[in-house]
Amino acid sequence: MPHVARAHYKTWDRCDLTFVTLVEGTSVAGVLTQSRCPSPEVEWCRKALTLGTARALVVNAGNSNAFTGHRGRTAVEAIAARTAQHLGCQPSDVFVASTGVIGVPLPIDKAEAGLDAAYAATPCDWQAAAETIGTTDTYPKGATTTAIVDGRTVTLVGIIKGSGMIAPDMATMLGFVFTDAAVEPGFLQAALNAANRNTFSCITVDGDTSTSDTVLAFATGAAGNAPLSGPDSDGADAFAAALADLCAQLALLVVRDGEGATKLIEIAVTGAESDRSAHRIAMSIANSPLVKTAIAGEDANWGRVVMAVGKAGEPAERDRLSIRFGDTQVASEGLAVEGYDEAPVAAHLKGQQVEIGVDLGLGDGTATVWSCDLTHGYISINADYRS
């Protein structure tokens, strides 16, 4: 049940604190940034996840509280303690996430006042919660799906924020999934890990991994199904598939809203020596400023794709390489396809979704990742982000 309030972390005229209360017995799982400079919130969640239970989630927008030393840790402890007082639970049952400017300690007085206001507020819908957790997002991001588990319909709802500083090193945003299914923590974690590998860890906007990236999944058990304890439980496959679908919807919402972006780019790599190799090559293409600016300019400059394949550090043979834009093959066996028709390529690049296909001709490895174009808008947003 979400509640929102204004903690006034910034001067914006909007809610910036989200407080979600969860019933006793709620299971939790999470994936967190692999940054070596994580926020105190990430460290708090990483430790709390080992217990597998949750009673509340608190999300602060406008201040990431990262790189703030002992003051940042004290702020997280204060938030967890204040929330625990409201709910009569242990601080370790409270999960905290923050997003915004790095290097500014989260003001404890504003956080506690915001918590008190949110706790007393009338519950809101998930749309309001999605709006509240955003920063440079241009629209609120949420999705929902269902699955049949143990003969019962269970619902999964997710909200997410993310627009810049997006490069997967697990996931790279703040995302939260809530389900009324009964799922034991171990299986919930396994299902989230599997979903993350092909969704959140396959998107990039700018190649920069945040200090604060957090994706958490909460399972309340309110649907009354027999708890899912492993892959052999009745309905486990359906639940895992629904979770993966929800994560895919959320991940694409993030990359479509990349800062300054006008186009979603899907990059499919086949014929690599392994799936891991294919993923690394796909990400090299996806993170290339030269590829991304070419797509922004609707220029089918496939030479830049060749460059990105070559620099990836993965096995590749020039004379086996093939490249396509949309359905049109533009290069094959180390050369441009003689006489290929540029008209369908030009038409494809004018659309809002661009597909780049690369086949290395070496093996069975495949990967698909998603990126966005790089425009002047990205510079405008990030040149004066702190103001």
Entry field: residues in the chain: 387
Q: Write the DSSP symbol of residue 107.
A: P
Q: Is 214 annotated as a binding residue?
A: no
Token pair recorded at residue 303? 């030479």
Distance CA 324, CA 54 (A): 47
Catalytic machinery residues: 172
Distance CA 183, CA 229 (A): 6
Q: Is 161 annotated as a binding residue?
A: yes
Q: Is 387 annotated as a binding residue?
A: yes
φ and ψ at 237, to 5 degrees?
A: -65, -40
Contact 240, 188 (CB under 8 A): no
CB atoms near residue 300 (< 10 Å): 22
Q: Is 273 annotated as a binding residue?
A: no
Q: Cα–chain-centroid distance for residue 227?
A: 27
Distance CA 201, CA 149 (A): 27
Determine the 3-state secondary structure of 104 from DSSP.
coil
Q: What is the DSSP string of 260-303?
A: T---EEEEEEEEESSHHHHHHHHHHHHT-HHHHHHHHTT---HH
Q: Is 141 annotated as a binding residue?
A: no
Pairing of strands 264-272, 353-359: parallel
Token pair recorded at residue 105? 């300690």
Determine the 3-state secondary structure of 381 from DSSP.
helix
Nearest by Cα to 207 from 382, 357, 367: 382
Q: Is 172 annotated as a binding residue?
A: yes
Q: Write the DSSP symbol of residue 32.
A: E
Residues annotated in the binding site, as ranges?
A: 135, 161, 172, 259, 382, 387
Residues annotated in the binding site for substrate, as ranges?
A: 135, 161, 172, 259, 382, 387
